[in-house]
Structure 1
């Protein structure tokens, strides 16, 4: 099996070198970039399997990098975004431009590696071709095969992770799922990845992004349990 290639985009050299060394020790090929323009150029040249992307960069920031690399004709690339701030608005903006996950600095290398492995497991799933499956709930339509979502007949553009989360819930309307279950089944986390190190706000932020795009009534909170797709009307 070919070694997976990861691009680390970080302008703090000591941190970039530390991340690269740890990922090398895990068996990955690693490239480095220290600015927004260099990141976009390196993605085009190396076509990495995953990008570890800092938000604050010279040239242009990580959000703009994410916008550009996710709109490539080759298709989106998995992005784990790093931010020095834990502000929820920043996290939602990152998810909105196509990041699959985010981590707030400071973080442990063990947690970073676990996130990388989990994200690669999820994006490397290749389900066998299936006939078109469409989930329809009143004014919401989820096309599973085409990975498209419509509300009131208008298409709503979701990131890869937002769609995966919505699809998981839409396949089981009315059923409530705890955050740990969603982290396991949607994000690909296993017990071996020390799931307790993953903040539950990862799920919460994606749910808020879905509500912002589709309306607050599509995914409901089940207090004491987690989240559920609304039952059929």
Structure 2
């Protein structure tokens, strides 16, 4: 059973939401403050976190930044009124998805299921799950990436995007291609999200220049594969 941590200062939200999550074989735990949430995350055993933007002590964006310093756990942001700027800021800080308030519990469950499902990657046939390039190694089985021998810490979305490009190096993926393959057709997304994730990836992959932009076309992995 997956364990999900909700960090939201609305004490009335947690119990009914936990009962709903239980119907989908997920245990939802609740923390009313960021400090309590961080303490629970430090104990381990949490598979995904849901952060409200409006929180005491620190807002959800600051909390996301703190979590990302030590963990690549999937993070969903609850954004008031679905503000576009909230979505952009959350994605820039490393959130994997967002759900605008007010939300339907079924939608939140579906979003959580999606980010959890994306963490399970089927290894590419004949590679043992490893994709090896000049200066870059991806391992689908362990969801790890090495850049020039150094392990990188990528969020779930960052790894999925890089793995998508690496499976077919040289192929150009449009923003719509990437959105559909990473998030599914039902997710409410916009192409700006892809640009944000690519920008984060490029910074983490430096000094390698792996991801090329083809104007009005999309993105491609432009690094040479290493043949066995």
TM-score range, shorter chain: 0.7 to 0.9
Distance 2:45 2:56 in 1: 22
Partner of 2:53: 55
Structure-2 change in CA distance of 1:124 and 1:181 (3 Å)? same
RMSD over equivalenced CA pairs, Å: 3.6
Q: Does the Cα contact within 8 Å between 2:5 and 2:48 map onto a contact in 1?
A: yes
Residues 1:150 and 2:144 aligned together: no
- Residue 27 of structure 1, aligned match among 18, 21, 25: 25
Distance 1:86 1:41 in 2: 30
Q: Does the Cα contact within 8 Å between 2:72 and 2:154 map onto a contact in 1?
A: no
- Residue 228 of structure 1, aligned match among 213, 220, 224: 220
Shift of 1:20: 3.5
Structure-2 change in CA distance of 1:154 and 1:5 (3 Å)? closer
Structure-2 change in CA distance of 1:132 and 1:22 (3 Å)? closer
Distance 1:57 1:209 in 2: 26
Shift of 1:28: 1.8
Structure-2 change in CA distance of 1:15 and 1:219 (3 Å)? farther
Give the secondary-structure state (helix, strand or coil) at the position aligned to 1:80. Answer: strand
Unaligned runs of 5+ in 1: none
Partner of 2:89: 90
Give the secondary-structure state (helix, strand or coil) at the position aligned to 2:147. Answer: strand
Shift of 1:173: 2.3
Equivalences for 1:117-156 in 2 at 5 Å? 117-125=113-121, 127=123, 130=128, 133-136=131-134, 141-145=135-139, 147-150=144-147
Q: Deviations over 1:140-169 (max 9, x none)?
A: x22113833437x88765334213312321
Shift of 1:213: 4.0
Q: Does the Cα contact within 8 Å between 1:8 and 1:20 map onto a contact in 2?
A: no
Number of corresponding residues: 216
Unaligned runs of 5+ in 2: none
Q: Deviations over 1:10-41 (max 9, x none)?
A: 11345545644542343321111111111012
Equivalences for 1:1-233 in 2 at 5 Å? 3-16=1-14, 19-45=17-43, 47-70=45-68, 76-84=72-80, 85-87=83-85, 90-95=89-94, 99-125=95-121, 127=123, 130=128, 133-136=131-134, 141-145=135-139, 147-150=144-147, 157-187=153-183, 189=184, 191=185, 194-195=186-187, 197-214=188-205, 218-223=210-215, 225-230=217-222, 232=224
Q: Does the Cα contact within 8 Å between 1:4 and 1:28 map onto a contact in 2?
A: yes
Q: TM-score, normalised by structure 2?
A: 0.72
Q: Deviations over 1:36-75 (max 9, x none)?
A: 1110122234622211112332233434544554555xx6
Shift of 1:102: 3.0
Q: Deviations over 1:106-153 (max 9, x none)?
A: 5444432221111111124475993854212xxxx22113833437x8
Q: TM-score, normalised by structure 1?
A: 0.71
